A and B are shown apart, each in its own frame.
Chain A
């Protein structure tokens, strides 16, 4: 049984000494959007913009708070290299003697960076959406869900214990569900929402069980306590490995890693701002954040747990990048791209590139949010998601186009755009590990390079098909024009970040990010020119080939007519994963297994109950008709017989009944005598 327990109070005491006021109030940050969600649901409808303004206000407050906390945090870091965070907690409940669950928060570099990401993207998305969603149904509901989502994400980021993380984690899941299914009049949309929720929930089972394993290993839910105990070797390695792998299942679901990635493309059924916020910049990186947050556990459980992480991440980035190549739906290209980039981050963690992975969360958030919002702007203009309905939009919507191209280049990893710096560090990390003899890291390294090539290829295709060439939309009915200011301004801000956001992680002494987010044991590798050249080269090659094919038309390929036709078919069918899940899991469970269980319920279990009743009635029937009445009245119905024999009733009695009665009685006595004599003597 649990007898002693290390609580955050003990753990936090040492770190709380060097803190200032802003950090103490960090817990307010998630509270703000939580309150705003409640307010919007309550009275949002009465506002002129149906609650959007409340959401925007809340987000601005969140952003301000996030920035204050962020700068305070980096101030602490600058002042003290060894500063590793500020933590405060109250008891949430004691659910057993000495088993305490806290409600608390922990601010360190990692959390601060994520706060800024969430704050900025959420604010941009809210601004954008207030225009984008203006004429849509259920706007109030939409903004309330967005607020609640933001609260959940912030709660996850700040949580100091695993259960509280789970609370945020699932809260996001439900908001994601609500928002994906926003236009639930259409069956596909609600189905996509369900799919997203259930698929991630499968991973969450692992997350939850992982929490349990680590809790019983460390006797605590506290992240710091678990991490310290894991690092110090106070938890059995087997426990750690099981715990880490189970936790990672959660990440696989939430961060859309293979094989649970299939929900994310479908999630594009939701409004585009939702895709930008939830399914690109924030929620889907929660899995990465989880692994990063619990990284000491993974590190202590190395190599098994980390190699698994690296391999899953690598597979994911490859297969998703390939899928992004064949999509026609603009949002789906971005969705697969997101999966692929998440694979980068996950794989990066798997190869100990801790800082680089978090850095990639940071840069990816800017350019991917930008791309999604840009895509929304485009879709708004042409009323279609399909690239085959676009083309030549460069002239019609210059701001959208330019910002979108910036985002694309950042995604493709060209210097000096943000994406380059983080991706380069990831590749470097994989390379370093591979050189130390890790096979998994070598796989990751190669996968990263290939993916860099593929990424640039599909970016080129996407840009070319969307903005260049001849218009493919119906020019009679569709008249694309630039989006309103409220949509443009966020694009410009995000574009600026997509350019400059990576500069906080420049190589060498100028690298600030490495100071903000670092972990002893997973140190930042020094800049390696060769790696930078190779990865940039891969990207350039990919972009060049793509541009040549899709923009310039220099190479005419029809994949369906080449030897690659089966591959193309495989890609178009998304590796048949959806079909397999549908045919072998969803349908059998939902339609057949459930029907079988219900059949058993009705025919076997309930059947037995009913049979018991029927047996009782039938026995009674036999007793009555054949023993009681049969023996006595010989089948003559009492009353009917009497009516018929009314004239000679005396005779009736004398002849039949009484003798039978008496006989029965004597028979009874005889049987009793016989039985007792027999048994006694």
Chain B
């Protein structure tokens, strides 16, 4: 078997970095544990460079299991950038929280990232499964990394049990397809399914099980139960990592399986995604209104966001390649923007909670008076999540709407439109707290440079991207495997 090491370079590099960080950390004296951050950060930067090096290439290796194309590369870029942002946020967080072991933390993050990079290139059910597990296992640990915190433990255990359950179901679904087609490679599955008419019930069941697995990853209803508790219990940077990178990985897997493997069965899974998408966004938004705690609010909001990204699959077609291209384009575009605005929001929440130890929305009162820049940035992230110009979120929603209309999903579009109005309700509630209400405490919120940098970069990206959305558009247009 020929192995194209060039195609695997980023993954190999990252493996080295991860192992390196783990090993070096063992030998560092306690007071120098902070070194893990720069090492990991530079390592990911190097990986990103390796990824960028692959941009525009088409490589296949490992018997077609592993493919490097633009789709893969662009997602790898997203993952790396998201990881860098999360690292920057983590650094500030970890410096305050003495309980979290630095080396372990970054190592787990790096391994999880490795899984993400892998999944972007996976074109085989087994590879996808393995990659997903590689993402999840370190994530379980990360969720519970504050070992002495009950909430963190609970978060980790819930997350773990659910993850195991859902992956089990997904594996079952995958095995059914293997049974139907005798293949694990997505292209082969697709070929095997073509023209088959005798497989309705089994295929339906199999698809459903796959949806459970991916639904868990992307936090779709009714597989979202773990999300609020886990986000709340886990360190905030981990929550950001889960809600951005991990979710994106789920979407990557979902695209690959649905479009490359099960495209023939689009008529079967299309309505499921329509329903799941609608229910997910509506549920997320309505429940988010009730939240009094910022991380929980962001958690439910991220559930709703997942709904927005799922509905386009509800207009997919078994035959219309152009429409499917548009669907992938729109979701990729959304994910690109989402990576910045969601990370930004979590980063801002970290910045605020880190010093004050407060996570209730009430505590955000008067933030504008205390730290105008932080308040403005947070408002920008929230408005962006809501889809209000001039922040890039408008464009993300716009392309989703465009896709829905193009696929004759007018009803879906209308429901989503109403959802964006409902969502504005709770985003505005936070904005109102920060800008309108007064607080007794007038002390400014101090934050380290890395955190400020992360927030600043995210804010600038979504603002500039709001005026010039083609920065995202060009990338998203390329991220297509058709």
Contacts and interface: CB of A to CB of B under 8 A. Distances in A.
A639 B288 CA distance: 19
B272 A623 contact: no
Contact of A673 (B161, B165, B208, B271): B208
A676 B272 contact: yes
Given A617-B289, A619-B286, A632-B225, A665 B150 contact: no
B151 A677 contact: no
A616 B153 contact: no
A649 B158 contact: no
Interface stretch (B176-184, B197-205, B438-446): B197-205
A649 B204 contact: no
Nearest to B290: A624
A576 interface: no
Contacts of A234: none
B154 interface: yes
B46 interface: no
Contacts of A646: 150
B204 A665 contact: no
A348 B286 CA distance: 76
B286 A642 contact: no
Contacts of B150: 642, 646, 649
B204 A676 contact: yes
B169 interface: yes
A673 B289 CA distance: 30
Contacts of B255: none
Contacts of A676: 204, 208, 268, 271-272
B204 A677 contact: yes
Contact of B286 (A623, A665, A668, A672): A623
Given A621-B290, A623-B287, A673-B204, A662 B153 contact: no
Contact of B287 (A628, A662, A677): A628
B162 interface: yes
B428 to A, nearest CB: 12
A657 interface: yes
Contact of A668 (B223, B271, B290): B223
A661 interface: yes
Given A616-B422, A672-B272, A673-B204, A658 B290 contact: no
A657 B158 contact: yes
A117 B146 CA distance: 99
A667 B229 CA distance: 20
B264 to A, nearest CB: 16
Which of B165, B211, B286 has the most chain A CB within a 10 Å cutoff? B286
A581 interface: no
B157 interface: yes
Secondary structure call for the A interface = helix
Interface string A458-476: 0000000000000000000
B425 interface: yes
Nearest to B165: A662
Contacts of A669: 169, 208-209, 212
Which of A613, A628, A646 has the most chain B CB within a 10 Å cutoff? A628
A665 B162 contact: yes
A676 B209 CA distance: 13
B225 A638 contact: no
Interface in B33-78: none
Contacts of A672: 208, 211, 272, 276
B382 to A, nearest CB: 18
A7 B279 CA distance: 67
Contacts of B162: 661-662, 665
Interface string A409-446: 00000000000000000000000000000000000000
A137 interface: no
Nearest to A621: B290
Interface string B266-277: 001001100110
Given A665-B165, A669-B169, A677-B201, A620 B286 contact: yes
B200 A613 contact: no
A653 B225 contact: no
A616 B271 CA distance: 25
A616 B208 contact: no
Given A620-B286, A672-B208, A676-B271, A658 B161 contact: yes
Nearest to B288: A620
Given A661-B226, A664-B225, A620 B287 contact: yes
Contacts, number: 94
Nearest to B207: A676
B321 interface: no
B166 interface: yes
A202 B208 CA distance: 72
A358 to B, nearest CB: 66
Interface in B148-197: 150-151, 153-154, 157-158, 161-162, 165-166, 169
Nearest to B209: A669
A2 interface: no
Contacts of B288: 620
Nearest to A672: B208
Interface in B196-242: 200-201, 204-205, 208-209, 211-212, 221-223, 225-226, 228-229
Nearest to A646: B150
Contact of A681 (B200, B211, B272, B275): B200
Nearest to B162: A661
Contacts of B165: 662, 665
B105 interface: no
Given A616-B422, A646-B150, A677-B204, A667 B222 contact: yes
B425 A642 contact: no
Interface in A614-638: 616-617, 619-621, 623-625, 627-628, 632, 638
B283 interface: yes
Contacts of A642: 150-151, 154
A187 interface: no
B425 A613 contact: yes
Interface string B90-120: 0000000000000000000000000000000
A477 interface: no
Given A642-B150, A665-B165, A680-B204, A624 B222 contact: no
Contact of A624 (B226, B229, B276, B287): B287
Nearest to B151: A642
Nearest to A632: B225
Nearest to B426: A620
B283 to A, nearest CB: 6
Contacts of A668: 221-223
A5 B81 CA distance: 71
Nearest to A677: B204
Given A649-B150, A664-B222, A668-B223, A620 B157 contact: no
A653 B422 CA distance: 34
Contact of A620 (B223, B225, B290): B290
Contact of A665 (B166, B201, B422): B166
Given A638-B229, A662-B162, 11 more contacts: A620-B288, A621-B290, A642-B150, A642-B151, A649-B150, A665-B165, A668-B221, A668-B223, A672-B276, A673-B205, A676-B271
9 contacts: A621-B290, A638-B229, A642-B151, A649-B154, A668-B221, A672-B208, A675-B275, A676-B208, A677-B204
Q: Which 8 A-B pairs have the closest CB atoms?
A: A668-B222, A620-B286, A620-B289, A624-B290, A624-B287, A661-B225, A623-B286, A623-B287
